[in-house]
Chains A and B, each alone.
Chain A
């Protein structure tokens, strides 16, 4: 019985935290102008937040670091853009195409690299990302090469009985992105709380112990990598819709690094940490870059301060406080 009364640490605050996060996100378009933002900045935070959370599914909850996750984000961007540009004007189909392109590429790459660990794993993820980047960069005829893929726009959502205008209604588009975000993040949360999700924690915590419990480590890491690639390519698809543009830099190393920074800023051991990290990153970028082109310097400075003084990230530190 005592097991029912005393919930494990971290679980105590789960429902209030969930309620708070979703309230903030649902009301974002209403409060964001008061802090100098605008609705599409909120949308950008959601998209990059989903990307960072997808990466953190690997870093924070499986304990393996990919430094090449922009590959699957970027493939999501291009998958969505290419479908909208050449095949059909349907927004949901674009998203599905992006998810399939990025997710299946992740499935294939994951199958090849699960025996690598640590720095070697990170290096191979970068190598594969470079391959995808150069394909997009060189294949001018299809992808627009260096200039990126233009000439497509997101289409309004046709629900049968009514049509939702997401082309020039920023609010509607924000809520559409939030809807997709909620589904992806909801599934991610369910996976992490499942027996399968706990085997990932086990691998993160102690691979040797996990192996001697009988967990097939390689298979589980492969599945985690695959899921993470599917999640992040959904974010990629949303990014294409947000910008109406597929940019080769969305496949580039810089973005991979930025996503890792977002995770660490917010806290890798906290589910919502990377979302906060992404918010901070995007807001700082938006704010500082309107004053100086050297905005990256200041973001770097803040990153150093966080890593030195709050090594568990901003949310990680908050959680520790509340448990103490």
Chain B
């Protein structure tokens, strides 16, 4: 599904990501972890097309997307969320999702929709709101919701694009206990019940070891380890990297 080979990203003389490779299978939930400054978010931005890598290749669904701009990646089935929630704050949840559904359906340049298309859009919105369990807040402005609900709205918008690969950048960053629990539940449902392929960057280790099929560990911009949660838990290098930084 996703094959990243030997990508490097430099900013001036800083090497943020060095020769990192990663393969994600269809239906897999892959977590990317690492101490602060390990290059997780930069790596994530390379995958989602925020900027192109300095070196290396990214193959998505058999096609080279290394230098493909964002709209092209979205069209091929990649959707992402952000560490700091990116939504349309002054619009209601429902309108946030509506825009995503319409753009995802290819209506972005349409001056009007037929009655059939409109009811299709409305049905898709209702379904997305149900799946993410945010129907009750559909008419509230997103900017007025709690962090956790804003994040859920953002995930609903990503899902509206009918992605084949969902990229979640620290989905529980800044969330309280209850919110983390709800978002973890949503991610698990998307993975286990709806079979989404998911790549996520995350700080919450409980969540990572609980949800991930495989874990990639980055440290100082390079690949430190790659394996199942139990491999990673037992890996002395990983323990050293984390404890070393914690101490």
Stretch at the interface among A43-51, A98-106, A194-202, A291-299: A194-202
Given the complex, which residues of A lie within 8 Å of B80, measured CB to CB?
212
CB-based contact B107/A213 at 8 Å: no
**Chain A, interface residues (CB within 8 Å), range:** 20 to 34
A318 interface residue per 8 A CB criterion:
no
- What's the nearest-Cβ distance from chain A to residue B219, in Å? 28
Report yes or no: B86 in contact with A209, Cβ–Cβ below 8 A: yes
Residues of B within 8 A of A88 (CB): none
B210 beta carbon closer than 8 Å to chain A? no
Contact with B along A202-232 (1 / 0, CB 8 A): 1001101101111110001001000000000
In this complex, the interface size class of chain B, counting residues with CB under 8 Å from chain A, is 35 or more
B240 at the binding interface (Cβ < 8 Å): no
- Tell me, yes or no, whether B100 is within 8 Å of chain A by CB: yes
Nearest B residue (CB) for A211? B70
Q: How far is the CA of A196 from the CA of B109 in the complex (A)?
A: 5
Residues A214 and B103 in contact, CB atoms below 8 Å apart: yes
Asked if A201 contacts B99 (CB within 8 A), the reply is yes
**Interface flag for B75 (CB, 8 Å):** yes
Contact of A3 among B103, B107, B111, B138 (CB under 8 A): B138
List chain B residues, Cβ under 8 A from A201: 88, 91, 95, 99
Decide if A118 is an interface residue (CB 8 Å cutoff): no
Q: Do the beta carbons of A198 and B99 come within 8 Å of each other?
A: yes
Report yes or no: A198 in contact with B102, Cβ–Cβ below 8 A: yes
Given the complex of chains A and B, what is the CA–CA distance between A191 and B111 in angstroms? Answer: 6
Interface residue A321 (Cβ < 8 Å from any Cβ of B):
no
- Is B70 in contact with A194, judged by CB distance below 8 angstroms? no
Contact with A along B54-95 (1 / 0, CB 8 A): 000000000000000011001100011010001111111011
B137 smallest CB distance to A (angstroms) = 12
The answer to the question of B113 belonging to the interface, with a C-beta cut-off of 8 Å to chain A, is yes
CA of A216 to CA of B109 in the docked complex: distance in angstroms? 10
- A8-B139 Cα distance, complex, nearest whole Å: 6
| Chain B hits for A205, CB < 8 A | 87-91
Which residue of the partner chain, among B75, B92, B112, B126, contacts A214 with CB atoms under 8 Å?
B75
CA distance A213 to B157 in the complex (A): 8
Within 8 A of A (CB), among B104-156: 104, 107-113, 122, 126, 135, 138-139, 141, 154
Chain A residues with Cβ below 8 Å from B112 are 190, 194-195
Asked if B91 and A3 make an inter-chain contact with CB atoms under 8 angstroms apart, the answer reads: no
Does A151 lie at the interface of the complex (its beta carbon under 8 Å from any beta carbon of B)? no
Q: Which residue of A lies closest to B167 (CB)?
A: A212
In the assembled complex, which residues on chain A have CB atoms less than 8 Å from the CB atom of B108? Answer: 195-196, 199, 214-216, 220
Residues of B close to A199: CB separation below 8 A = 99, 102-103, 108
How far apart are B86's CB and chain A's nearest CB, in angstroms?
A: 4
- Please indicate the chain B residues that have their CB under 8 angstroms from the CB of A206 in the complex: 86-89
Q: Which residues of A contact B100 (CB under 8 A)?
A: 213
Residue pair A6, B139 in contact (C-beta under 8 Å): yes
Q: Roughly how many angstroms separate A208 CA and B113 CA in the complex, as a whole number? A: 26
Determine whether the beta carbon of B92 is less than 8 Å from that of A213: no
Q: How many Å from the CB of B114 to the closest CB on chain A?
A: 12
Known contacts A8-B95, A196-B109; A215/B71 CB under 8 A? yes
| A209: contacting residue among B87, B94, B111, CB under 8 A | B87
B64 to A: closest C-beta gap in Å: 19
Contact A213 B74 (CB under 8 A): yes
The closest CB in chain A to the CB of B79 belongs to A212
> Does chain B have a CB within 8 A of A300?
no
Chain A 156-173 per-residue mask, 1 if CB under 8 angstroms from chain B, else 0? 000000000000000000
With a cutoff of 8 Å between Cβ atoms, the chain A residues found around residue B32 in the complex are none
Q: Which residues of B contact A186 (CB under 8 A)?
A: none
In the bound assembly, the distance between CA atoms of A223 and B92 in angstroms comes to 25
State whether the Cβ of A33 lies closer than 8 Å to any Cβ in chain B. no
B161 at the interface (CB under 8 A from A): yes
Closest to B84 in A: A208
Inter-chain contacts of A213 with B (CB < 8 A) = 74, 99-100, 103-104, 157, 161
Apart from A3-B138, A8-B94, A213-B99, what are 10 other A-B pairs with CB-CB below 8 Å? A8-B139, A9-B92, A195-B102, A201-B99, A205-B89, A206-B87, A209-B82, A212-B82, A213-B103, A220-B108
Chain A residues near B (Cβ < 8 Å)? 2-3, 6, 8-9, 190-191, 194-196, 198-199, 201-202, 205-206, 208-209, 211-216, 220, 223, 269
Q: List 28 A-B contacts (CB under 8 A).
A: A2-B135, A3-B138, A6-B139, A8-B92, A194-B113, A195-B103, A195-B108, A195-B110, A196-B109, A196-B110, A196-B111, A198-B95, A199-B99, A199-B108, A201-B88, A201-B91, A202-B88, A206-B87, A206-B89, A208-B82, A209-B82, A211-B70, A211-B71, A212-B79, A213-B104, A214-B103, A215-B108, A269-B90
